[in-house]
Chains A and B, each alone.
Chain A
Amino acid sequence: MPEMENTPKRGVPSKRPAYPTEHFVADAEETPVAATDSATTDDAPRSQWSEAWRNLRRQPLFILSGILILAVIFVALFPGIFTNEPPNENCLLINSGAGPAPGHPLGFTQQGCDVLSRVVYGTQSSLMVGMFATLGVLLIGGTIGAIAGFYGGWIDAILARLGDIFFALPLILGAIVVVQLPFFRENRSVWTLVVILVTFGWPQIARITRASVISVRNADFVTAARSLGVSRFSALLKHVIPNALAPVIVITTISLGTFIVAESTLSFLGIGLPPDVMSWGNDIFSAEPTVRTNPMPLFWPALALSLTVLSFIMLGDALRDALDPKARKR
């Protein structure tokens, strides 16, 4: 179609014209009512969040990842709905490594347990580690980052160096060092793992929050609030943080996926969750020795893990597109 080449490639006209308020004078009879109003209603400024929500609802990426995440949460809350088989009883060695059978659509593990049931029941701990680690990182990293960015000066200098120190230890490496300590070896549980992940995971969120707070703290609306007598602290809480939240939310969403991967990596190395806790990482670890002869018990938990992580990363991507005004303009 040669005609198409004449249409401009960039700045494709949307339904609304770019400059809706044209000022012109015309005869009263000829003037449409809308044109006499210099301010048209559909141009009222929307808040960042309702604008983001409007954008999000139209994104297939958001809808897909949202449905997946809700489904995973549902499975974690009500595992009994998805399988009749209790995960650790009825494990018969006669079934060891067997393929799918009636009532056992995904086959059996090396120990003769039902794979589907283990994958379903493993959802809970994997998701719990991810969620609580993210929550902890958000609280600690967010607070430290916000304080450092807002107050600046020597507080910032000290907190930034502290972050650098923790940053020099990559998440997995730091976790490996701590996990092998006698103290943690004896108290292995979901909660100690969460503590370890938070200890080495917070600097990333702190960095993002700090940068975001710095970009907002000198904005006119903060100065206005301060000059109206709002204290520094409540200006930080009520005006700076809500406006600096967008990039933090994006990174937090993605890091939820990262923490789930970290849990499974540590469990895969045999030093994550204790063996009696069912998790995808533990199942992958126990299916690993027979992976070349019978890869399926490794494949299913790996698939569940990958899909969950993928949906959190996709959600983060969709949020970034919706919340980042720079990305939206393009």
Chain B
Amino acid sequence: MTWYIIRRVLQLIPVFIGATLLVYFLVFSLPGDPTAAICGERGCTPGVEAALREQYNLDQPFWVQYFLFLKGVLTFDLGVNFAGREISTIIAEVFPTTARLAIMALVFEAVFGILFGLIAGLRKGKIFDSTVLVVSLVVIAVPIFVLGFLMQFLVGVKLGWASPTVSGAAPFSELILPAVVLGLVSFAYVLRLTRTSIIENVNADYVRTATAKGLSRRRVVTVHILRNSMIPVITFLGADLGTLMGGAIVTEGIFNVNGVGNTLYRAVLNGEAPVVVAIVTVLILIFVIANLVVDLLYAWLDPRIRYA
């Protein structure tokens, strides 16, 4: 197991470097000046332009630029945005809100997805199963911003059960509605995945053995069927944490959450390339680490994998 962990961690490094290199290359090497947005319509004077190019290392060869950037990432020094604020300070400010939002969404989709999927899978073909399947299809098909507006309008404005927008402090109670919207699509996927997995396992030999041994139905379902069905679901959930953090852009926009997604979106609209690259790098890091944790969890749940 130790060797497996070491191997997986080492495999993570080239992926991280490759992905950041890709983003860095796209942003700073394609035609067009990434710092042009600072000076607006009128453009910079040559002196200012040269100073800016020096500040963002654009006067260096590409590889030097990238290594300086990588060094900055490793020392938590991500440079400054166009207004002169430290990017790492900005990220540290908004990160906790998005993390809370994503984790709440993850808990929502995991608890309800697995619960509904389990019931549907155990009652395959019954009315609950069919209803849940149709509803999950609709949830997957309707884009998240439509779902967001719908929920905001119905639950937030018409019924008044929850606050339609989130204040700066982003307390737990105000984040419930955005978290549900954010987790809704993945909830449908978790549900369907659990259901399929349960159906595959219900007729397995070890389930029959467990029943034949005289174990209670509850024990067979929770310990034997559910645990063995969780492997694909856990893979999905782990990979989803990264997607949720990045995918929060739309949800945060609708509910006015001051999080990573909103900051990224503002940076995109303002053409602040250094901020975009910094935030995306943090998101890539989270995504890659979440996948690593999933792989390790996977190997722990199913020992066959680490010997493959």
Chain A residues with Cβ below 8 Å from B138 are 306, 310
CB distance from B73 to the nearest CB of A (A): 14
**A80 at interface, CB cutoff 8 A:** no
Contacts of A270 in B (CB 8 A): 269
Contacting chain A: which of B22-30, B169-177, B205-213? B22-30
Given contacts A182-B32, A268-B250, contact A306 B141 (CB under 8 A): yes
Cα distance A161–B15 in the bound complex, in angstroms: 7
Query: B140 at interface (Cβ–Cβ under 8 A)?
Result: yes
- B253 / chain A contacts, CB cutoff of 8 Å: 269
Q: Which of A138-192 contact B (CB under 8 A)?
A: 161-162, 164-166, 168-170, 172-173, 176-183, 185-186
The reply to whether A165 and B149 contact each other, CB–CB distance below 8 Å, is no
Query: What separation, in Å, do the CA atoms of A329 and B30 have in the docked complex?
Result: 52
B107 close to chain A: CB less than 8 A = no
| A205 shortest CB reach to chain B, Å | 17
Task: Give the contacting residue for A182; candidates B18, B19, B33, B199; CB below 8 A.
Answer: B33
Cβ-based interface call for B287 (8 A): yes
Q: In the docked arrangement, what's the CA distance between A211 and B146, Å?
A: 35
Residue of A169, A261, A284 near B23 (CB, 8 A) is A169
Q: How far is the CA of A5 from the CA of B71 in the complex (A)?
A: 71
Question: What 1/0 mask marks residues of chain A from 257 to 288 whose CB sits below 8 Å from any chain B CB?
Answer: 10001001100111100000000000010001
B142 within 8 A of A: yes
> A305 in the interface, Cβ–Cβ < 8 Å?
yes
User: Hey, which chain B residues are within 8 Å of A168, CB to CB?
Assistant: 15-16, 18-19, 284, 287-288
- Judge if B14 is at the interface, Cβ distance under 8 Å: yes
Q: Are B149 and A169 in contact (CB under 8 A)?
A: no
Which of A164, A170, A179, A257 interacts with B247 by CB under 8 Å?
Answer: A170
Residue among A257, A261, A298, A313 facing the most chain B CB atoms (10 A cut-off) = A261
Give Cα distance in the complex from A265 to B27, angstroms.
Answer: 21
B18-A306 in contact (CB<8A): no
Report whether A306 and B265 are in contact in the complex, using a CB–CB cutoff of 8 Å. no
Map CB proximity to A onto B247-265 as digits: 1 under 8 Å, 0 otherwise. Answer: 1011001000000000011
Asked whether A302 lies within 8 Å of B26 as measured between CB atoms, the reply is no
Taking the closest CB of chain B, its distance from the CB of A258, in whole angstroms, is 9
If A292-B157, A298-B149 touch, does A269 touch B265 (CB 8 Å cutoff)?
Answer: yes
Partner of B250, one of A183, A269, A306: A269
Could you say which residues of chain A place their CB within 8 Å of the CB of B243? 170
Interchain CB contact under 8 A, B288 and A292: no
The answer, yes or no, to whether B296 is at the interface (CB within 8 Å) is: no
User: Which residue in chain A gives the minimum CB-CB distance to B36?
Assistant: A182
A20 interface residue, CB < 8 Å from B? no
B22: contacting residue among A169, A176, A186, CB under 8 A: A169
Q: Which residues of B contact A265 (CB under 8 A)?
A: 143-145, 250
* Closest Cβ–Cβ distance, residue A202 to chain B (whole Å): 13
Which residues of A lie under 8 Å from residue B273 when comparing CB positions?
180-181
A313 to B133, CA, bound (A): 12
B positions within 8 Å CB-CB of A: 14-16, 18-19, 22-23, 26-27, 30-34, 36, 137-138, 140-146, 149, 153, 157, 199, 203, 242-243, 246-247, 249-250, 253, 264-265, 268-269, 271, 273, 276-277, 280, 283-284, 287-288
Given contacts A302-B142, A305-B146, A306-B138, 16 further A-B contacts (CB under 8 A): A165-B22, A168-B16, A169-B284, A172-B249, A177-B27, A177-B277, A177-B280, A178-B26, A180-B276, A181-B27, A181-B34, A291-B153, A292-B153, A306-B142, A310-B138, A310-B142
List, sorted by A's number, 28 A–B pairs whose CB atoms are closer than 8 Å: A162-B18, A164-B15, A168-B16, A168-B287, A169-B22, A169-B23, A170-B246, A170-B247, A172-B246, A173-B247, A176-B264, A177-B23, A180-B271, A180-B273, A181-B34, A181-B273, A183-B31, A265-B145, A265-B250, A269-B253, A269-B265, A271-B268, A284-B145, A295-B153, A306-B142, A307-B141, A309-B142, A313-B140
